[in-house]
Every structure is written in C-alpha cells, then in structure tokens.
Structure 1
C-alpha cells in the first residue's frame, strides 16, 4: 500500500509546481537597504504603475509574489525612498532573482529569465553609448569654430548610427526574442529623403511617413503596452499624424481594434484609450468618434471590463452628443418671439437654416451680429437661407426669425 505521507508529499510538490507555473515570484537582493518598502511597477508611457509592493528585510531582501502570472512588458523595481529604479523584462519566465548593485544599477544581475540577459547587454551598451552621445553634444554646443562644429556633429551622427545598428543586430540575430519585439515597435519610421518642391511632393512624404508609422507593430503583442514608448507613440499618431477628420479616425480606429481582437489586453487598452481621448474632444466634430465607439463597441457589450458606473457615464455622454453631431438634424427649438408667439425651429422650411445665439449685452455679439445681418441681406436672403436667432437675456428668451 502506498504510504499516506508519500502521497501528501507528492500532492504538495504538485501544488508548488502548479503555483510556480501560474504565478510569479520576483526576489530582490538589495544589500544597500535594510528596511523600507520596495515596489514592483510597470512602464506605461511616462508613468510607472504599481503592480505589487514588499517590505525590505534587514538583510536587504524583498519578495514579490502572486498566484497569477504577470502580463509581459518592461517592469521596474522602485527602491525604498523612490529615488532609484531598475528596469527589467517580464515575459514567460517569472521566477526571477534580481541582484541589485545600488552603487551602479547598470551592473545589476537578473537570474531566471533568459530574456533579461539580452536586455542587460542592451542596457549596458546604451548607457555607454549614451554617455558618448552626451559628450559629443556638449562638445558641439561649446564649439567656437565651424570646423569644430562639423567634427562634433559628425561624431554625434556616427555614434547614433552605431546605436541604431546595434538595435538592428539584436532584431536580426534574436528575431523571436522579446527584445526584438520591443525594438521593432519603438523604431521610428525613416523620414523620406525626397526634398519637397511641390505640394504633391509634401503629400507623398506625408503618406509615406504615415504608412510606415506602425511598421514593426502588429497590435497583437500585448507586451509592448507596458513600455515607455507605446502610449506616446499612440498619442502622437492620433493627435499629430492622422488627418483630424472624424471619419478618417473612425475607420483607422476600427482597423486597429480589429487587429487587436485576438489580443485581449491590447484590445482593451486601445478601446479604453480611444474612449478617453474622445470623451471630451478638443476638436469640433470629434464627438462623432466617441459616439461611433459607443454604438459599435460599448453598447454591444464589447467592453465587459467596465463597471456599471463607467458604462453609465459613457452611455449618458453618448446620448447627449448624438443629438448635436455635425451633419445630423438638430433638435427642435421652441422659443417665444418678441410678440409673445411660439416659434419652432422647423416652422420655417429652408434648405439651410442658421441658428444664432446672442446676448444684447455681449461685446462680441455687438460686433458679429451686424456682420451676420449684412451678409444675410446681401447674399443669404436671396438664396433662401433662414436665420433663427435666439436672444439670451436675463428673464426672457425671445426668438427672432428672418
């Protein structure tokens, strides 16, 4: 008969194995510290977001652990006092030991994760090349002759090229690595070399840059979300690179979200960011983007991670905007005219109706309303254009129509 104690031992070992496989354990050895709170954080744009925390023991050890695997990305240990942080990668292997050299963090060592061996080599190379680039820039700024300026500028270009070549070598030699995925995603598209002479030349350069902006990003790799570069790259694309026309942005957003549907965290991140970006748009007409996101995704249950309050906020905002979208029929207005009669906005059939809100005590209105009146008499009236003018004054809101 199989001994009960042996069976218990096997069950315990199996439980430990399953826990190690499904969860994470990150051991920090920081000999320079004897107390305080250390934080396990992850990068997202300019911010470090806290994932976990652990008390540092008297011998400088802190342990972060959980039963669920961490999403992949660039993480950072923030040391007690929050003045130092150390970046490392989290991917499939999540039983990691970090031996921190707090006197020079570049010399720290990460064990238990092959991805971090490559990352450490990259960090050390970048740190050394970064110092050289700073020196070359400082020398250029302090140049007193044109010859010195040219020499230091060329030196800067050579160092920058060496950095780019080193990154390309990692991608070439380790194509399946997390480092390769990160480097491809962060790479800036090459600027067109064609010098624009005509307007079409400028357009060609723009379309080239836009079409290559996301080279290296599949929108199916969730690891790049937790990085310093993905969020700023996304913001710059929709705010500066994309034409600021609602239909163009809607189509582009739909395509990105379609690509991300097989990557739940990427899909969630994109839809959340797009919703927040256009909830209170800064450009007239962009409210249509928010309404589109609501109708196509949120209202159909395609954002199940949102709680009831969040959905209520999004729904209320969308319905408020629906009636005021550019190109859509405006809600009816029923006002009282100066003779005390009700006047409906749609009582006056016209191909175009201009609605003007004005206040007789408003300085801007005093300047603009006469201009509108002049244009109406000179041009709009004979073309059948109607003006529905709502006067706003304390105690009464009469309407004037022409």
Structure 2
C-alpha cells in the first residue's frame, strides 16, 4: 500500500511539473481540419512572423505550447488554405481556440480567456455595424430629402455606438493589450471649445500619443504600429529638419525601456530618413546615425559601423542649414578667345605627359627617391604618387598661367549662389546645364544678385589621355553653350578635397546658398532652385 501511495504521488508530481513547464498552452479545435498543420505567428510592424506549429489530430485538435511565455500582442493562426484569423496573446496564455473553416471571424470562439472573448465580441460587433452601414449607404443613393436625412442620422448613430462600445472596453479593461489597440484606432475628437486652425492642430498633435501609446511594446506586435508612427511623422509634424529631429529624439528615447522596441524604432527611423526622399531628411539621417546608431546599434557589425562613421563625416559639412565649406578654385577666363587659347595648348600638354610616362628609367629613379623620403608608402602607391606629382608639374608649368587666378566661394558677394557641380560627359549635365544658362539669362538672375558657381568635375590625372581629352570637352562645352555668365572653376590637383566636402559622387549636383553662404537647399533641379529664389524674394517684398 505504501509503495502504491508513493508511486501515485510521483506520477501526480510529474504531471504537475509538466503542466507548469508549459508557459503557454493554446488548444486549437477545428474539426474540419483533420491531420493538418497550423502555424501560430505574430504581427510585427508590416510583417507576419511565425512562432510555432502544430499538427491537428484526427479530431481536428492540437496544441501550441512552449516553455517560455509569448510576448503579448496580436497573433494569427495560419491555415492550410493560406487564410488567417487573429487572436490576442495577453497575460493569460492557456486557453482554447475553436473555429470553422467557412467564416473564420463569425465562428471564432475562445474558451478560458476574457481578453480574447472581448476581442472576438468586438470584431463580430464591428462586422454587424459595417454590414448595416453598407446597407444604409446603398439605400441613401436612391433617396433624397427627409428620407436621406433619416439615413444620415442612422449612419451617425452607428459611429456613436461603435465609439461607445470601444470606450466601454477601454474603461473596463485599461491594462489589456486589446484596450490599447482599440484606443490607437480611434479618431481623436477635438472639443468645440478649441477654436482656430492652429489651436486645433496643436490639440490634435498633443493628443496623438495619448491615443497611440508608442511606448507600449505590445502594440509593436500589431498591424497598426508602423502606420500610426509614419502618419505622425509624415502628416502631422512639419517637414523642417529641426522639427523632425526633436520628435525623433522623443521617439527613440521613449523606446529605450524595451530592447526590441528600441531596436525597431532606431532601425525604422534610420532607414526612413536614410532614403532622402525629401530635402532635409539627410540632416535627420545624420543626426540619428551619429547620436544613436553608431554608439547604440550593438547588433550591427563593425564594418558597417565603420563605413557609417565615414559616411556621416562626409555628409556633415554640407547639410542644409550649414555654412557651405569654403573652396578656392582656379578660375576659367571669361572670354571665348582665352579659353580657345588654353584648348590649343592641350595637345602640347598631352604630348609632354606621354613622353614622361614612357620614360621608365626616370620614373624608377623618382620612385626610389620618393620611397627614401616616405618609406611607409607601398610600391604601387609610391609609383602612383610620383606620376601624379610629375604630371601636375607639367600641367602647372605654363598651362595654369592661362587661368585668371582663383575664385573663392566665400568672397562671392551676391544675394544667392547656385553651386553647379557638373562634367561634360554626363548625359544629364549635357541637358541641364544649357537649361540653367538659358534660365539664368532669360530671368535676368544676374540683376537679381544670383551667381552660378560652376565647378567642373575632372577625371583622374593618372588617366592622362582621358584627363586631357576631358578638359578639352569642358572647354568646348563652355564655348559652345556660352557659359560665360557663370563663374567657371576647377581644381586640377585635388588639394581642396571639394568632392568630400560636398559629398559629390555623381553629377550634376546643385547647392543653393544665401548671401551668408548658408545652404538653403541641395540636390534639386535648376528650376526648383530658381523657384525657391523667386518665392523667397516674393515673401520678402510683403
């Protein structure tokens, strides 16, 4: 008897321990799906993420179960038909889900969980109200007068009933995930006492996160989180970089309490503003990268973070709102005959360079001397630098004397400066540059105190034949398209590092500066730049 009693206790303890080992245990009963596989997953921003699978038995029954609790949120069950229905995973994670395969919302039941019962009841209530609203809307099309007013009254009452139902759930169950979810979907009501468009705007904006609690990580596991977040940033907040940055700081700092939420928020905002779809987004991107991503994105590899640091350093000097970096460049003569004279020298220049490049004995000697002075250079780097130095000296002997000294960006004394980075082989440059010349002349922009600072993007001097040929194309383009109303400049030796300062990796690129050389706009078309100037001038006259 004693042995039997002890065995009974051990068996009971075994089953009890097994029961407690299951942190979630969700029974599913779908009689019409026998021996079929189901997937349990959760909503995450715009994605559906699988968490668990089961195979139903011959009665259409099975269990999703695991030793660690599921994170709370809105989940889905995926059927073999590729249809899904949603359930809530809250604090209680041991319940039974019952459904059919015909109408997944109509026949859905949950036993043993209050939150899911409320969720299902609310869904079915919405379905009924939606059908009634559709029916009334169809009737309205065939009526008028008092009959139409009566239908409008009924439609309005449906909205009142839905909001009343939602608020009753929220008030009775404030801690439920589903209550937070419903509240986030409700329209913000602005009291009639709030008068004026500006006051109504700030009221709405101030209430947005009272309805949508972005700090609640449970809402991240729902289909609405990302759309609510983006709506706030895209439709409510002004597009000015400083305004966006202030809100980005609130959002990122407000998500730090939860690792998953923090990572999502940081990655989403970093990606969103990294696209640069709107001018000024680049400022936001650099701010996020420098303040948050580089120091806090521990999930990123070192190579990516290293490249990001270099990218930020390259972009920072020429952000909208900054003073444009100073560059002092060689000034092309403002006279067709003088430019033609320079063009005629190019063939002689080219031949001198070719003679030097064929003189391997001289090059070897120069490399030997260079390596003695700079031993840290590799052989290939030393050869490249020696050639650059010699070709630059050939260029500098007589050819550069034909230029009219230097032009300093910061010494341009006009109300606006259009910086135009371009090159004659670029197809877009070939189209846009003549249009800029035409607009500049036709709109009398010189008389409106506008200077075009046109920076020629030359080839690598190591490619000597292409380098000199490219310069010839620049001269031809300037002459043929009469660019002499511009300040035409170049910097043949790379000393100014202007490509890095202005983040130039393609062409054409336009920067618009004000009188103080502050960057008003960048990477826009010439027409857009001129429109901005005209708009500023129009507003200044008021």
TM over 0.5: yes
Inter-partner Cα distance in structure 2 for 1:183 and 1:166: 10
Equivalent-residue separation in structure 2 for 1:335 and 1:120 (angstroms): 71
Does 2:475 match 1:400?
Answer: no
C-alpha distance in structure 2 between counterparts of 1:319 and 1:11, whole Å: 64
Change (3 A) 1:319 1:32: farther
Residue from 370, 374, 377 that aligns with 2:446: 377
Q: CA deviation at 1:314?
A: 4.7
Q: Counterpart in 2 of 1:37?
A: 37
- Counterpart of 1:367 in structure 2 is 435
- Asked if the contact 2:331–2:406 (Cα under 8 Å) also holds between the matched residues in 1, the reply is no
SS at match of 1:267: helix
- Separation (CA, whole Å) in 1 of partners of 2:45 and 2:444: 50
Moved more, 165-174 or 61-70: 61-70
- 1:363 and 1:166 map into 2 onto residues whose CA distance is 61
Question: For the structure 1 residues 113 and 377, does the alpha-carbon distance in structure 2 shift closer, same or farther, using more than 3 Å as the test?
Answer: same
**CA-CA distance at 1:59 after TM superposition:** 3.2
Deviations 1:263-310 (A, max 9, x none): 33332222222112111121111111111111111222x233345566
Determine the structure 1 residue equivalent to 2:524: none
* Cα offset, 1:161, TM superposition: 0.8
- 1:245 shift after superposition: 0.9
> Which position in structure 2 is the counterpart of 1:230?
225
Deviations 1:326-383 (A, max 9, x none): 1335567686665553887757634675411356673332222243367553243xxx
CA distance in 2, matches of 1:110, 1:308: 48
The equivalent of 2:421 in structure 1 is 357
Residue of structure 2 equivalent to 1:328: 322
| Corresponding residue of 1:19 | 21
- Of 264, 269, 272, 2:264 maps to 269
Superposed counterparts of 1:19-168, under 5 Å: 19-21=21-23, 24-45=24-45, 47-82=47-82, 84-105=83-104, 106-140=106-140, 142-168=141-167
Unaligned runs of 5+ in 1: none
Which of these residues, 293, 298, 318, is aligned with residue 288 of structure 2? Answer: 293
The CA deviation string for residues 197-231 of structure 1, in whole angstroms up to 9 with x for no partner, is xxxx3222222221222223443321111122222
Distance 1:310 1:85, change over 3 A: farther
Distance in 2, matches of 1:316 and 1:137, equals 59
Q: Using structure 2 for the length normalisation, give the TM-score.
A: 0.63
The answer on whether the counterparts of 1:337 and 1:400 sit within 8 Å (CA) in structure 2 is yes
User: Is contact 2:26-2:96 (8 Å) kept?
Assistant: yes
Which of 240, 244, 254 is matched with 1:249 structurally?
244
1:58 deviates by: 3.9
Structure 2: distance between partners of 1:345 and 1:55:
77
Q: 1:237 to 1:348 in 2, by over 3 A?
A: closer
Structure number with bigger Rg? 2
Alpha-carbon distance change, 61 to 245 in structure 1, aligned in 2, over 3 angstroms? same
Question: So what's the TM-score if we normalise by structure 1?
Answer: 0.82
How far did residue 43 of structure 1 move? 2.4
1:4-44 deviation per Cα after TM superposition (whole angstroms, max 9, x unaligned): 979976885675355323xx333322111134432212224
Tell whether the 8 Å contact from 1:192 to 1:208 is kept in structure 2 after alignment: no
CA 1:223–1:267 in 2, change beyond 3 Å: closer, same or farther? same
- Counterpart Cα distance in 1 of 2:194 and 2:259: 42
Aligned residues: 389
RMSD (Å), alpha carbons:
3.6
1:304 counterpart = 2:379? no
CA distance in 1, matches of 2:423, 2:137: 58
Query: What secondary structure is seen at the aligned counterpart in 2 of 1:318?
Result: helix
Shift of 1:72: 0.9
Displacement of 1:74 after TM fit?
0.9
Residue in 1 aligned with 2:538? none
Q: Deviations over 1:64-120 (max 9, x none)?
A: 3333322111111121121x3221110122223211122333232223433212222
Structure 1 position 311, deviation (Å): 4.2
Does the residue aligned with 2:34 lie in a helix, a strand or coil?
A: coil
Q: 1:166 to 1:58 in 2, by over 3 A?
A: same
Distance 2:36 2:248 in 1: 44
